[in-house]
Structure 1
Amino acid sequence: MIRPDLNLLVTLDVLLEEGSVTRAGERLALSPSAMSRALARLRRVTGDPLLVRAGRGLVPTPRAVELRDRVRALVQEAEAVLRPAGRLDLATLERTFTLRGSDGFVERFGPALVAEVGREAPGVRLRFLRRTRKDIASLREGAVDLETGVVEDALPPDVLSEPLFTDRFVGVVRDEHPLSTGEVTAARYASSRHVHVSRRGLTEGLVDGALRATGHEREVVTVVDGFGAALALARASDLVATVPERHTADLRRGMCSFELPFRAPEVTVSLMWHVRLDADPAHRWLRDRVIDVSSS
């Protein structure tokens, strides 16, 4: 199948608007002979004379009149497609963004983000999902617009990221727990019963490696898949939860938090998105809002 020369649409649009080969040629920076050849090509592909002589001028045929508005609309649409994106109007922006984050992110940063977005772009809707596994397919497929989490391995070239903040682990117990009073030593910490957070159900993590360097090991008696669940158990029992400090600030309210009696592991939480959205003005605006809220 031979593809049509879409440049002829622009030529036809100008010809129909000017009704003159000479004036159309001047607008398109073409010589009269080149413009005449273009009109001849248009006549061949449409099977219609399009413009015919009437005295000293040219008049459109019924087919040309029929095509005029359609051609104009097609050219304008093409120009809009090929034009750089216009200035983002937040007041009229209507769009739904899906953000996926690890447990505790919405509780800690969601309220401020929703308030900030609502003030600037009241027509924007935020949809929050919990990050239950490492999966870039959702970013690639467009099911998720932004994702927050710890980047442990190198990301593929089509996924971009920016660090949001560095978080360190702290111990958390209920107010009546023995560790809520007195100095928390590595021995006291290790001798308590612990709840461990692991999406994969593992019984050890970064904290265990850091504690083992002091010559102690903790007793993990419960494993859960999120910080919220770990803190809920610690709030209602004598279990010790060890969680990221900043990520869980709101979840830890009313509980006793303490610095770990050994070098606390740190993790860097990053914002991730797919490269196809990198230049999108609305997406860039939302990324900036997430960065602002997370750094405040």
Structure 2
Amino acid sequence: MDTTDLNLLPALDALLTEGSVTGAARRLGLSSSAMSRTLARLRFATGDPLLVRAGRGLVPTPRAIALRDRVHTLAREARDVLSPQDEGLDLATLDRTFTLRANEGFVGLFSAPLISTVIAAAPHARLRFAPKPMKDSAPLREGVVDLEIGVLGAFAPEVRTHFLFRDRFIGVVRAGHTLLSAPVTPQRYAAARHVVVSRRGSFTGPVDEALERLGLRREIVAVVPGFPDALRIARQSELVALIPRSCLGDESFVQGLASFELPVTTPEIVVSAMWHPRMDADPAHRWLRNVVISVCGASAP
């Protein structure tokens, strides 16, 4: 490895700025003898005397004069790199695109208040909502996605999380569906035909486990990748859809539909924000996280 001692950089900056061993020593909190030894090392490293005696003082060599501004810039940049990041985030001038990966229900319910809150504080910031094809932490690790919104799964162990809100599944049918002509019992619910949502194409889930404990089984005739697809099918057919209650917050989703509580108990849906620790200390990312947490707390179902 290169044996260059970068600790010499601030000393060189101080010497060229002060033009004096005593002044440079005072600036760095060193003794004059220690600074004299450092100057000797700098002379050896650069192959130039840098500061030479002129009467009772020192004067810079042409090489020292040529280096002065460059060294000062390098020393300042090195301090910036090796110091905590300035928390003075200027939202008025923040020009950045944040990518949030979330399902259609979250986008339908929260995108409008999130966008309004973000652009009110940071008019040059932008939000990109990306689809969720699979539970995959790679986009977070690679910086492609800033925030993942959803249910905790098999994510990388280093991923940071913050609770946003609790949700639950409900049933949805077209308005006037015969299922709603009487109380929805487990038996009547299981006897209906169903459409379910699964990114992996699975035909069963927690509802089926609850029904199985009662000796019941529902007939699933369609699996679709997204909740809007399930709602569209329910609106245009006799099929029963299963969706998170938060989807009801988007009126465009539920026109012509009626919802009901499931006749069986299913696990609660815990929705969280997830991000990679590489973004923990980034002031802009921290601000975005706080905005998402605040908006979800105010608008959660």
State TM-score, norm by structure 1: 0.94
Q: Which residue of 2 aligns with 1:103?
A: 104
Deviation >3 Å, runs of 4+: none
Matched, 1:291 2:298: no
Confirm or deny: 8 A CA contact 1:195 1:240 kept in the other structure. Answer: yes
Q: Which residue of 1 aligns with 2:144?
A: 143
Within-5 A mapping of 1:74-223: 74-86=74-86, 87-153=88-154, 155-223=155-223
Confirm or deny: 8 A CA contact 1:231 1:252 kept in the other structure. Answer: yes
* 1:242-293 deviation line (CA, Å, top 9, x unaligned): 1111244312244101111222442211111111111222111111111122
Question: Equivalents in 1 of 2:160, 2:199: separation in Å?
Answer: 24
Cα deviation for residue 37 of structure 1 reads 1.4
Amino acid at match of 1:293: V
Question: Equivalents in 1 of 2:157, 2:171: separation in Å?
Answer: 37
Within-5 A mapping of 1:253-268: 253-268=255-270
Question: Equivalents in 2 of 1:89, 1:109: separation in Å?
Answer: 25
What is the CA RMSD across the aligned residues, in angstroms? 1.6
Equivalent position SS for 2:63: helix
Sequence identity (%): 59
Stretch of structure 1 that moved more, 195-204 or 22-31: 22-31
Equivalent position SS for 2:199: coil
Equivalent position SS for 1:90: coil
Amino acid at match of 1:204: T
Stretch of structure 1 that moved more, 90-99 or 65-74: 90-99
Gaps of 5+ in 2: none
Question: Equivalents in 2 of 1:25, 1:89: separation in Å?
Answer: 37
Equivalent position SS for 1:246: helix
State TM-score, norm by structure 2: 0.93
Equivalent position SS for 1:135: coil
Cα deviation for residue 220 of structure 1 reads 0.7
Question: Equivalents in 2 of 1:264, 1:157: separation in Å?
Answer: 27
Shift in CA distance, 213/2, structure 1 to aligned 2, threshold 3 Å: closer
Question: Equivalents in 1 of 2:196, 2:28: separation in Å?
Answer: 71
Equivalent position SS for 2:254: coil
Stretch of structure 1 that moved more, 182-191 or 106-115: 182-191
* 1:167-190 deviation line (CA, Å, top 9, x unaligned): 111110111321243322222222
* 1:54-105 deviation line (CA, Å, top 9, x unaligned): 2222111111110000000001111112222222221121111111112321
Confirm or deny: 8 A CA contact 1:13 1:68 kept in the other structure. Answer: yes
Question: Equivalents in 2 of 1:35, 1:295: separation in Å?
Answer: 57
* 1:114-153 deviation line (CA, Å, top 9, x unaligned): 1111111112111111111011111111111110121144
Confirm or deny: 8 A CA contact 1:132 1:199 kept in the other structure. Answer: yes
Confirm or deny: 8 A CA contact 2:149 2:271 kept in the other structure. Answer: yes
Equivalent position SS for 2:183: coil
State how many pairs are aligned: 295
Amino acid at match of 1:44: F
Question: Equivalents in 2 of 1:266, 1:10: separation in Å?
Answer: 57
Confirm or deny: 8 A CA contact 1:151 1:269 kept in the other structure. Answer: yes
Amino acid at match of 2:169: F
Question: Equivalents in 2 of 1:15, 1:127: separation in Å?
Answer: 50
Shift in CA distance, 266/33, structure 1 to aligned 2, threshold 3 Å: closer
